[in-house]
Amino acid sequence: MANKRNLLVVDDEQTMRDFLSASLGNRFNVRTATSGTTALVELKKQRFDLVLSDVQMPGRGGLELLEDIATQLDYRPLVIMMTAFGSIPQAVEATRRGAVDYLTKPFGLDQLDHAVTRAFEVEQLRSENRTLRTSVSSRQDTHGLLGNNPQMAQLREKIAMIADTRGTVLLQGESGTGKEVVARAIHDSGSRRDGPFIRINCAAIPETLLESELFGYERGAFTGAVSARKGKFELADGGTLLLDEISEMPYAMQAKLLRVLQEREFMRLGAKYATRTDVRIIATTNRILKDEIKARTFREDLYFRLNVIPLRIVPLRLRKDDIPLLASHFCQVFCAENGRPLLPISETAMRCLVSLDWPGNVRQLQNVIERAVILCTSEELDREILGLSEEMDSTEKVRDLGGDLTLRDMERELILRKLRTTRGNRTKAALELGISVRTLRNKLNLYTDLGVEIPG
């Protein structure tokens, strides 16, 4: 029958050939051969899916046949070896030459069926692994920067150009656009790829601790310093240091960072001598640093020192043609992580995904897909399970903030609304707004001074 797989039985004993042909004839198109030499002739005539071969035969035996299959065929059938002289050395040698299993004569039908079934399961796993490796390799080629939009292609080209240089990189873009992914891509594609990649979030660490986190300290430098500790600059030596949310770094600390960038050395707290450092600096910000300079919250000289190689990452709303690719990729990833079969995204849902402006950018899209995969109880992701109605309503609310409001009023109203929806959870609100908790706290303090009631 056309839908049966092809099986070649190779054994010099007629009774064994007849037994295997009768046992497997209902599942396979069976042909037989009496030696490794005649088997190779059959294997060259047509493609076989599985070979059951004896080890000991006149002329060329089963182990020699395995070698011939590896060197003389343009395809690789599965091979199960059989022998009445079973031994561990033979099993090891057969496996080394490409066999997927080993049967010792005499064996029963259950053993035979189990070996055959397991052989095809192994092949399926190998095929899946090859597909996975190809997929991973493809993603590694782009270093996780998925997208066919021309601006993404240009970004990848720039990364390739600067990867082996030492110049400081300033990554600018809205929250959620993937600045850390770009930083990692620069590190991984350059000569420092084997060195450490160290990240520090300048907004998440209190001002009093940031200096010790960056530069480390000596034993006894302050109360509680019972032993010396390396800072991020020292830990990143020979690699890359990512200064995330550089705009949130305290003004006084900016001067110390500037000196390190200029002199390529730093002082541990409590140290008598400076430590040299070979670190590539990548800084990120979701703010416009020139505005911060005008507001006297960011040093202009530090800006020039950081802005050697400026890279800007476009928001998702300006590359909507990449949304189907990104959404499908996230769906595949989260289905695999959660042990779910791959869930297709309905055409209606995909159109809605593309229609949204995604103020939270790629991170927001990623979170929406992850939530949908976890909560889905059907065979596809539709608009409702993706929560797209809620996402679209949220976008429309932002658009409705116009009218006679000033930009500052619109910002305040948006922040207060977000606090209401998060029930006063400031960390969650800051994340969804695309700003740091420190920035949100400062703004709320300002609103409180103005007499505005803060939700939560």
Q: 389, 419, 441: which is the final residue of a domain? A: 389
What per-residue confidence (pLDDT) applies to 114?
Answer: 87
What per-residue confidence (pLDDT) applies to 287?
Answer: 87
* Residue 452 lies in domain: 401-456
Q: Does some domain include residue 209?
A: yes
Question: For 87-139, how does the pLDDT look when each residue is reduced to its tens digit (9 = 90+)?
Answer: 656 766 777 778 888 888 888 888 898 889 888 877 776 665 554 444 444 44
454 and 359 belong to one structural domain: no
Quick check: bond before 106 cis, omega within 30?
A: yes
What per-residue confidence (pLDDT) applies to 12?
Answer: 92
What per-residue confidence (pLDDT) applies to 355?
Answer: 87
What per-residue confidence (pLDDT) applies to 449?
Answer: 63
Q: Does some domain include residue 194?
A: yes
294 and 373 belong to one structural domain: no
pLDDT for 310 beyond 60: yes
Q: 146 with 288: CB under 8 angstroms?
A: no
What per-residue confidence (pLDDT) applies to 49?
Answer: 92
173 and 299 belong to one structural domain: yes
Q: Does some domain include residue 160?
A: no
Question: For 356-395, how does the pLDDT look when each residue is reduced to its tens digit (9 = 90+)?
Answer: 888 889 998 999 999 999 988 888 898 888 887 655 555 5
Q: Does some domain include residue 145?
A: no
Confidence band, pLDDT 50/70/90 cuts, at residue 167: very high
275 and 380 belong to one structural domain: no
For residue 375, the domain's CATH number is 1.10.8.60
184 and 288 belong to one structural domain: yes
171 and 293 belong to one structural domain: yes
Q: Does some domain include residue 151?
A: no
356 and 251 belong to one structural domain: no
pLDDT for 418 beyond 90: no
Q: Does some domain include residue 395?
A: no
Question: For 31-46, how does the pLDDT look when each residue is reduced to its tens digit (9 = 90+)?
Answer: 999 999 999 999 999 9
What per-residue confidence (pLDDT) applies to 139?
Answer: 44
Q: Does some domain include residue 159?
A: no
Q: What is the 3-state secondary structure (H, E, C) of the chain?
A: CCCCEEEEEECCCHHHHHHHHHHHCCCEEEEEECCHHHHHHHHHHCCCCEEEEECCCCCCCHHHHHHHHHHHCCCCCEEEEEECCCCHHHHHHHHHCCCCEEEECCCCHHHHHHHHHHHHHHHHHHHHHHHHHHHHHHHHHCCCCCCCCHHHHHHHHHHHHHCCCCCCEEEECCCCCCHHHHHHHHHHCCCCCCCCEEEEECCCCCHHHHHHHHHEECCCCCCCCCCCEECHHHHCCCCEEEEECHHHCCHHHHHHHHHHHHHCEECCECCCCCEECCCEEEEEECCCHHHHHHCCCCCHHHHHHHCCEEEECCCHHHCHHHHHHHHHHHHHHHHHHCCCCCCCECHHHHHHHHHCCCCCHHHHHHHHHHHHHHHCCCCCECCCCCCHHHHHHHHHHHHCCCCCCCHHHHHHHHHHHHHHHCCCCHHHHHHHHCCCHHHHHHHHHHHHHCCCCCCC
For the chain, the domain total comes to 4
What per-residue confidence (pLDDT) applies to 125?
Answer: 63
170 and 305 belong to one structural domain: yes
For residue 98, the domain's CATH number is 3.40.50.2300
307 and 339 belong to one structural domain: no
334 and 306 belong to one structural domain: no
pLDDT for 7 beyond 90: yes
Q: 389, 411, 428: which is the final residue of a domain? A: 389
Q: 256, 289, 314: which is the final residue of a domain? A: 314
Q: Does some domain include residue 394?
A: no
252 and 274 belong to one structural domain: yes
Q: What integer is the mean pLDDT of 407-413?
A: 71
Confidence band, pLDDT 50/70/90 cuts, at residue 237: very high
pLDDT for 224 beyond 50: yes
42 and 15 belong to one structural domain: yes
